[in-house]
Amino acid sequence: MDFREPQGDRTGRFAPSPTGVLHLGNLRTALLAWLFARSAGSRFLLRMEDLDNSRVRPGVEAEQLEDLRLLGLDHDGPVVRQSERLGLYREVLRGLEAKGLVYPCYCTRREIRAEVAASVSAPHGLSGALLYPGTCRNLSRKERAEREAAGRRPALRVRAAGPDGLPKVVRFTDRLLGAVEGRVDDFIVRRGDGAFAYQLAVVVDDAAQGVREVVRGADLADSTPRQVLLHDLLGLPLPAYAHVPLVLGPDGERLAKRHGSVNLRDRLKLGESPRDVLGWMARSLGLAEPGGSPTPRDLLRRFDPAKLPKEPTVWRPESETG
């Protein structure tokens, strides 16, 4: 199954989760998403991915929006919040159920791991992650009733695998990574507690908002084949994808607060300005010379996706923004 990117409109978006302060790697991804969209003369949208209420922290959304404003990254239209769109996800899920494209799964994570561990040829995904073995795919009505009588609350999984039960191979072209191929298992679109899964919400939201190019961190490339397949099952237009390099800490792990003063507020407390921080981001992307202090509009004139670095940037104390 092969998918090709669209032409023309490049409406983009930045979609953080309001669970913590955005670090410089997050903000650099936001800058890139803004540059991809604005350089094409397209809209740039903001969406809060706040489905997991247990992790959402009060006030974080406002802080994230203020950070983007300080950097000069404007957006079009109101901020969209997933928590306000549950009716839309419910409607889409009913459509999948009506077409027989989802089924209830009663497995716990421990049971899945045990079954996979016992299998001689357990399927693996794009990054080596174990794939769902299809335990509940063909349960009879009686078997489902027995599990529910025992108090098990089912999740809902998409029937992604082929008739032979093997994961489906999905291919797409990424503007930075090139040809990407992944094996897609029967993945969850609604959890056992009734919460909608990220994979469903992000696909529905991108289509509903008219997003035509998804620019996000390279760590999310592994989940894209599932989203590509879901676009196809729902008959939705497929956006283009550009998975951009991450910013890593000196230890080679994804940048995090344990690495020091790595968010905008921290840098401001050290006496730096938003322009200083933006300058570091631009230099790390090859868009500015040492000592440069560009604005986002300056960067638009220099931006060429083909010239972006392909490897992660390592944040080091000596490479700090000032």
- ∠ CA 182-219-101 to the nearest 5 degrees? 45
Residue 43 known to bind ligand: no
Domain edge (last residue) among 133, 156, 190: 190
User: Residue 58: which domain range?
Assistant: 2-83+202-319
Residue recorded with tokens 């995904």: 125
Residue recorded with tokens 């969406």: 47
The four Cα atoms 184, 89, 192, 49 give a dihedral, to 10 degrees, of 80
On whether both 105 and 157 belong to a single domain, the answer is yes
CATH code at position 160? 3.90.800.10
Domain edge (last residue) among 169, 190, 211: 190
Tally of structural domains, the chain: 2
Model confidence, pTM: 0.90
pLDDT in tens, the chain (322 residues): 444 444 468 999 999 999 999 999 999 999 999 999 999 999 999 999 999 988 999 999 999 999 999 999 999 999 999 999 999 999 999 999 999 999 999 998 888 888 877 765 545 444 556 788 889 999 999 999 999 999 999 999 999 987 777 889 999 999 999 999 999 999 999 999 999 999 999 999 999 999 999 999 999 999 999 999 999 999 999 999 999 999 999 999 999 888 888 999 999 999 999 999 999 999 999 999 888 789 999 999 999 999 999 999 998 754 555 5
Residue 17 known to bind ligand: yes
Residue 15 known to bind ligand: yes
Q: What pLDDT shows up at residue 4?
A: 43
Please answer whether residues 285 and 301 qualify as being in contact, where contact means their C-beta atoms are separated by less than 8 angstroms. Answer: no
On whether both 153 and 298 belong to a single domain, the answer is no
Residue recorded with tokens 């300058």: 279
- State how far the Cα of 214 lies from the Cα of 9, in Å rounded to an integer: 12
Q: Which of 41, 69, 71, 37 is nearest to 295 (CA)?
A: 71
* Catalytic residue check, 168: no
Domain edge (last residue) among 190, 222, 244: 190
Residue 257 known to bind ligand: yes
Q: Which of 206, 263, 283 is nearest to 64 (CA)?
A: 263
Catalytic residue among 99, 142, 168, 257: 257
String of b and e for 231-250 (b: at least 16 CB within 10 Å)?
bebbeeebbbbbbbbbbbbe
Residue 12: which H helix or E strand, with range? strand 12-14
On whether both 92 and 73 belong to a single domain, the answer is no
Q: What pLDDT shows up at residue 2?
A: 42
